[in-house]
Chains A and B, each alone.
Chain A
Amino acid sequence: QKEVEQDPGPLSVPEGAIVSLNCTYSNSAFQYFMWYRQYSRKGPELLMYTYSSGNKEDGRFTAQVDKSSKYISLFIRDSQPSDSATYLCAVTQGGSEKLVFGKGTKLTVNP
C-alpha cells in the first residue's frame, strides 16, 4: 500500500464551482498535513498547512484532516481560472522526517 494515495484526475470544473480534492494516507504516525499548488513548469508552493485533525480556512481554501479515517481534503470555493494547477497533498511525521507526497491532482477551472 502506498503511503499517500491521491486521485490524479484530471478534474475539470466551471468557474465558480466548489472543488473537493482528497488524499488518504496509511501511516498513523503522520502529524502534519500540507497542500501544495504547482503551476505548469513551476516549483510547488505551499498553500495550506495543518497539524493534527480539524479544519483550517484561508480565504477561498479550506483544509480538512480526519486522522481517524486517515483522510485529508482541500476545498476550493468560488473556483477561478487562476486556480488551474496541480494540487499535491503531503504528509510528514514532523521534525527531520521526510515529506511524502501524493501523486497530485490536475485541476482545470474553465471560464
Chain B
Amino acid sequence: DTAVSQTPKYLVTQMGNDKSIKCEQNLGHDTMYWYKQDSKKFLKIMFSYNNKELIINETVPNRFSPKSPDKAHLNLHINSLELGDSAVYFCASRQRNEQFFGPGTRLTVL
C-alpha cells in the first residue's frame, strides 16, 4: 500500500563507486522529484520529471543522472561518488500542488 517507495533504504559505499537508487509511486501522478536532504536537514530539489520528461534540473553535478523508464518510476544514478554526496535522498510525486514523499535513502560515502 506504500504510495511512494524507495530502494535501498540504506546505502554505504566507497568514494569513487557508482550507485543507483530506485523510486516507484503507485498514486498515478505524472510528476516525480528527487530531493537531497543534508546533515542540517535542509531539503533541496535536484530534479523533476513530468511524464518521463525532465522539467527541472537544479544545477546538480553531471555525476547525477536521473532516469524515468515510465511515469511511475524515477531512478537516480550517481557516478564517482564523493564524500559530499553523503545525505538522505528523497523521492516524491505530485498531485496538483501537493507532494508526497518516499521514506528516503540514507547514502553514506566512506
Q: In the assembled complex, how far is the CB of residue B31 from the closest CB belonging to chain A, in whole angstroms? A: 7
The chain A residues found within 8 Å of chain B, CB to CB, are: 8, 32, 34, 36, 38, 41-46, 49, 51, 86, 88, 92, 94, 96, 98-101, 103-104, 106
Most buried by A among B99, B100, B104: B99
- Give which listed residue, A44, A49, A86, A100, contacts B101 with CB less than 8 A: A44
User: CA of A32 to CA of B98 in the docked complex: distance in angstroms?
Assistant: 10
- Give which listed residue, A42, A51, A101, contacts B43 with CB less than 8 A: A101
Q: In the assembled complex, how far is the CB of residue A81 from the closest CB belonging to chain B, in whole angstroms? A: 20
Chain B residues contacting A51 (CB-CB under 8 Å) are: 97
A94→B97 contact, CB < 8 A: yes
Beyond the given A49-B98, A96-B50, please list 17 additional residue pairs across the A-B interface where CB-CB is below 8 A.
Answer: A8-B40, A34-B98, A38-B41, A43-B102, A44-B101, A46-B98, A46-B99, A46-B100, A88-B43, A96-B56, A98-B45, A98-B48, A98-B58, A99-B99, A101-B44, A103-B42, A104-B42
Chain A residues contacting B43 (CB-CB under 8 Å) are: 44, 88, 101, 104
User: Which residues, 48 to 104 on B, are CB-close (under 8 Å) to A?
Assistant: 48, 50, 55-56, 58, 90, 92, 97-104
Q: In the assembled complex, how far is the CB of residue B7 from the closest CB belonging to chain A, in whole angstroms? A: 14
The chain B residues found within 8 Å of chain A, CB to CB, are: 4, 31, 40-45, 48, 50, 55-56, 58, 90, 92, 97-104, 106
A96→B48 contact, CB < 8 A: yes
Most buried by B among A36, A42, A101: A101
A92→B101 contact, CB < 8 A: no
Q: In the assembled complex, how far is the CB of residue B26 from the closest CB belonging to chain A, in whole angstroms? A: 15
